[in-house]
Structure 1
Amino acid sequence: MQIIEKTVKKSLAFAAVLGLSTFSAFASDIRVGMVLEPPHLDPTAGAAAAIDEVVYANVFEGLTRIDQNGAVQPSLATSWTISNDGTTYTFNLKQGVSFHDGTSFDADDVLFTFERARAEDSTNAQKGIFAPITSVTAIDPATVEIKIAQPQGDFLFNIGRGDAVIVAPESAEKNQSNPVGTGPFKFVRWDQGSRVILEKNADYTGTPAHMNKATFVFISDPNAAQNAMLAGDVDGFANFPAPESLAIFEADPRYQVVRGSTEGETILSTNNAKAPFDDVRVRKAIAHALDRQAIIDGAMFGYGTPIGTHFAPHHPYYEDLLGTHPRDIEGAKALLAEAGYPEGFKATFKLPPPTYARRGGQIIAAQLREIGIELELINVEWGQWLEDVFKTKNYDLSIVSHVEPFDIGIYANPGYYFQYDNVVFQAIIEKLNVTADEAKREQLARAAQRILAEDAVNGYLFQLAKTGVWNANLEGMWPNSPVEGNDLTAVRWTN
């Protein structure tokens, strides 16, 4: 406590010297800090949440959008009707809309987007969103009909995510480096390794943004993030990477510190297809060795909620499965011996840049060492993680937060990077995807959670907290993250 108090006093003295320089130099501009730099800027062709954190609802729009409360709102579709049997959606499109390059938006762009996402060679990270679709028809330039095989309770939510934003055939292939959407901000420039700059779209047909310019600044180091905030180099972080420094900003009236929730299940990612992790006894041994609260306290300074399976605790379908594999060092050793590893084994542990991974990795390594598992810690940059772990599956263990909402269905894909293959689980998810009745959906979701916990598919650690820090004169920043994104449309300066 004394250390924190001294740090607060020093920081306040430093800030007093800086004076007005800690505030944005331009009342119509905003500079948002981010931990991870996106690998590219096309949300329909990549899994990295950092892509959506820059362009979702800012540059690109979908037929629907998700608001800060997680509710579905109209976007490029102004309204829609659903057939009595729940399988036909008719969308009425906004008219007079243009993409940022001047090409017009109409039903053909919707058709192109959905057919591209559904194609066999699609690189869409959430291709499953489009799997239920049987046809997409442009009835006329302002009307689109989408048919799905069976009723789906979350269809409108799913097409409001970043993976389903509407792109144009004229610009789609260049969106990774030069994103062209219909949103309230236009892409200006990407200084790789540093920042992405957006500017207000003067031709936007919706509610215009308050800011004339938005700059996303990439700062992965927690100390550098703290210094950037105090120096006024950035106006805020939607998710601040240095939880140990929050007291500094809470004690300073020039800043807001907002604690919210995310959809981020933070997991000890495990390569289920690679020995020895293909043995459920080994995975259970690891689960018994984990002390979640120690990881939360050590890596996140107490910010985070323990989880026992891949599901958000704030969701109404959540089932508390923390007791499935309680901490039990002797029990873990016995399971390893039974699996043929009485002396333990060695493995690699690839850690991406976020604080929870780098700091959490050291704590987890110490915990697994207690049962004889020696881990080689390998720090990797985000692009390398996406290539080595997510794409080519060249890893033993890793840590990552899965921030997609209601994403338990990823475990039904044996080709997904942790390569879990369970036909019973797959059947449950297949049924869940076509079930609209809420009571039945909850029953299926809970059954799916129990299977993942029992199989110890991954080490389930904690739900990532959202600790936002931003200038006290800013309003409109989202306190929670129901989807990946930093929607800046309503953000403005009050002074």
Structure 2
Amino acid sequence: MRKWKLGLGVAMLALSVSMPAFAARTDLVLGVILEPPHLDPTAGAAAAIDEIVYANVFEGLTRIGENGDVLPDLAERWTISDDGKVYTFKLRTGVKFHDGTSFDADDVKFSLDRARAPDSTNAQKGLFAEIDTVNVVDPATVKITLKEPQGAFLYNLGWGDAVIVAPESAATNKEKPIGTGPFRFDSWARGSSIKLVKSPDYWGEPVALERAEFRIVPDAAAAVPAILSGDIQAYPFFPSDGVSQIEGDSRFKVVVGSTEGETILAMNNRKPPFDKLKVRQAIAYAIDRQSVIDGASSGLGTPIGSHFAPHNPAYLDLTGVYPHDPEKARALIKEAGAEGLKLTIKLPPTQYARLGGEIIASELREVGLDPELVPIEWAEWLSQVFTDKNFDATIVSHTEPNDIDIYARKDYYFGYDNPAFDQIIADLNTENDEAKRKELYGEAQKILAQDVPAAYLFELPKVGVWDAKLEGLWQNAPIQANDLTKVRWTD
């Protein structure tokens, strides 16, 4: 009997040694709303391009992290001259493009010179306008000299429009993208999906996924059954009107973060009586941000009190400057002699604007104003509001990253003019110390919160839905990207 037990134990040990450990899943299907027009982020403005290739296929000298911070990428480190004009980048070595060609300083010079050339098709050519020269010091060192100091230069280099491409493949990147990232392009079934596979020669930390498919699923009617059936395991920018059908199902995570979309009730600061601070303050006090979020954004979105994204390290919560207070609103309207003020609110054709307009109009009526809602199409908004400045107020989301500087533009549509604010933006444009930049961003936010050139409503939400066993997808969207470098399946 003892021998039999011993033999059984040996057999079981042998069996356990021979049986492989359970391997975590390594494939992923993601749903995306829009199909990109092509796959070259240096030659198109469509956010759908970056949603596929940013950080996955293509990389830049720097990259933008989930919270909007600037991180090293193909440049492992850099120095900045005392006058803020000369940036010297030390590049990573041993890096190869997916076609086997080597990455070095010549590729950086080629990419940046190409992006800023007179015939450049780069959608964000202005990002490179301050570059004076790009010089190759040696294969692993690049020196970039600016015409004037530019505090946001490192951030600008992290945009998808600034990724590094090779001269050997730049012309064909629209259809066959070749970068240095952890995934390489595999195939594109037009109208259906785009597939990436793990790059075996990646210079950095290997990714956990072997394959990733981006499947085009344009609306909630199709997205919900695809998620529930398991055909799609992740939908990083999920249609908000489908969330209620997923919530409460333990198989999935519903993750709500923020974007770079500051949703505001912009006022025409050039036009009486909106040139009076008390009138703008009254409007801000009259609005209940949470009611707007509940009614116009399916209860999703983060209240804001200034023009800044909540996920940004420099963000200040200033929603308490003008909390919902109808009594204060009525008092200020009376002091300003604005009782019964008629105003038009022009609404572009988005849900947050049309539904939000109804709620805000009701709240303004409660404090003694007489708003009229005017629905318009985007082309009319661009001509009437943005170009001709023919408006009293409008509801719109500003989605460009770190765009608080628009309030310093003298011909911008809402006509805000404050020399103290302009000076802070000027200082930001020349300051490259991140701690000091954070302080300046804080001061800029405080001025806007107090002056209310616009009533600040909420940050457009990023709603992600994915399998509960997935980790590493971004909660926030400082840029339009689906960075898969940290994504993995858990047991």
Deviates more, 1:223-232 or 1:174-183: 174-183
**What is the number of residues matched between the two proteins?**
460
Structure 2 residue matching 1:266: 3-state secondary structure: strand
State the match for 2:88 in structure 1.
Answer: 90
Determine whether 1:311 maps to 2:308.
yes
Structure 1 residue matching 2:445: 3-state secondary structure: helix
State the match for 1:478 in structure 2.
Answer: 474
Structure 1 residue matching 2:87: 3-state secondary structure: strand
Check conservation: 2:75, 2:92, Cα contact below 8 A.
Answer: yes
Check conservation: 2:314, 2:442, Cα contact below 8 A.
Answer: no
Unaligned runs of 5+ in 1: 1-25
Determine the C-alpha separation between the residues in 2 that align with 1:78 and 1:437.
Answer: 18
Determine whether 1:257 maps to 2:239.
no
Check conservation: 2:41, 2:161, Cα contact below 8 A.
Answer: yes
State the match for 2:407 in structure 1.
Answer: 411
Check conservation: 1:351, 1:361, Cα contact below 8 A.
Answer: no
Quote the offset at 1:275 in angstroms. 7.0
Structure 1 residue matching 2:308: 3-state secondary structure: coil
Quote the offset at 1:394 in angstroms. 9.5
Structure 1 residue matching 2:348: 3-state secondary structure: strand
Check conservation: 1:35, 1:220, Cα contact below 8 A.
Answer: yes
Determine the C-alpha separation between the residues in 2 that align with 1:60 and 1:277.
Answer: 50
Determine the C-alpha separation between the residues in 2 that align with 1:375 and 1:320.
Answer: 28
Determine the C-alpha separation between the residues in 2 that align with 1:187 and 1:43.
Answer: 14
State the match for 2:448 in structure 1.
Answer: 452
Check conservation: 1:319, 1:449, Cα contact below 8 A.
Answer: no
For residue 182 of structure 2, the aligned residue among 177, 184, 187 is 184
Determine the C-alpha separation between the residues in 1 that align with 2:36 and 2:276.
Answer: 34
State the match for 1:52 in structure 2.
Answer: 50
User: Structure 2 vs 1, CA of residues 432 and 123 (structure 1 numbering), >3 Å: closer, same or farther?
Assistant: farther
Determine the C-alpha separation between the residues in 2 that align with 1:379 and 1:455.
Answer: 29
Query: Which amino acid in structure 2 is aligned with residue 229 of structure 1?
Result: I
Determine the C-alpha separation between the residues in 2 that align with 1:178 and 1:325.
Answer: 52
User: Structure 2 vs 1, CA of residues 311 and 367 (structure 1 numbering), >3 Å: closer, same or farther?
Assistant: same
Quote the offset at 1:265 in angstroms. 4.2
State the match for 1:23 in structure 2.
Answer: none
User: Structure 2 vs 1, CA of residues 277 and 483 (structure 1 numbering), >3 Å: closer, same or farther?
Assistant: farther
Quote the offset at 1:149 in angstroms. 6.0
State the match for 1:19 in structure 2.
Answer: none
State the match for 2:11 in structure 1.
Answer: none
Check conservation: 2:93, 2:140, Cα contact below 8 A.
Answer: yes
Determine the C-alpha separation between the residues in 2 that align with 1:192 and 1:331.
Answer: 59
Listed as ranges, the matches of 1:121-140 within 5 Å are 129-130=127-128, 133-140=131-138
User: Structure 2 vs 1, CA of residues 123 and 267 (structure 1 numbering), >3 Å: closer, same or farther?
Assistant: farther
For residue 32 of structure 1, the aligned residue among 30, 39, 45 is 30
Check conservation: 1:280, 1:455, Cα contact below 8 A.
Answer: no
Determine the C-alpha separation between the residues in 2 that align with 1:452 and 1:258.
Answer: 30
For residue 196 of structure 2, the aligned residue among 184, 195, 198 is 198
Quote the offset at 1:485 in angstroms. 1.7
Listed as ranges, the matches of 1:307-346 within 5 Å are 307-313=304-310, 315-316=313-314, 318=316, 320=318, 322-324=320-322, 327-328=325-326, 330=330, 344-346=342-344
Structure 2 residue matching 1:52: 3-state secondary structure: helix
Check conservation: 2:240, 2:298, Cα contact below 8 A.
Answer: no
Listed as ranges, the matches of 1:5-404 within 5 Å are 27-35=25-33, 38=36, 41-44=39-42, 49-68=47-66, 72-83=70-81, 87-100=85-98, 104-118=102-116, 129-130=127-128, 133-148=131-146, 155-169=153-167, 172=170, 175=173, 179-188=177-186, 195-242=193-240, 245=243, 249=246, 251-259=248-256, 261-268=257-264, 270=266, 272=268, 287-313=284-310, 315-316=313-314, 318=316, 320=318, 322-324=320-322, 327-328=325-326, 330=330, 344-352=342-350, 356=352, 359-360=355-356, 362-364=358-360, 366-367=362-363, 371-378=369-376, 397-400=394-397, 402=399, 404=401
Determine the C-alpha separation between the residues in 2 that align with 1:208 and 1:158.
Answer: 26
Determine the C-alpha separation between the residues in 2 that align with 1:192 and 1:271.
Answer: 43
Q: What's the % identity of the aligned pairs?
A: 50
Quote the offset at 1:483 in angstroms. 4.2
Quote the offset at 1:82 in angstroms. 4.4
Determine the C-alpha separation between the residues in 2 that align with 1:206 and 1:440.
Answer: 31
Which structure has the greater CA radius of gyration? 2
Check conservation: 1:267, 1:459, Cα contact below 8 A.
Answer: no
Deviates more, 1:187-196 or 1:468-477: 187-196
Unaligned runs of 5+ in 2: 1-23
Check conservation: 2:39, 2:175, Cα contact below 8 A.
Answer: yes
Determine the C-alpha separation between the residues in 2 that align with 1:97 and 1:398.
Answer: 47
Determine the C-alpha separation between the residues in 2 that align with 1:331 and 1:177.
Answer: 61
Task: With the length of structure 2 as denominator, give the TM-score of the two structures.
Answer: 0.74
User: Structure 2 vs 1, CA of residues 215 and 361 (structure 1 numbering), >3 Å: closer, same or farther?
Assistant: farther
Check conservation: 2:265, 2:457, Cα contact below 8 A.
Answer: no
Determine the C-alpha separation between the residues in 2 that align with 1:156 and 1:243.
Answer: 37
Quote the offset at 1:463 in angstroms. 3.0
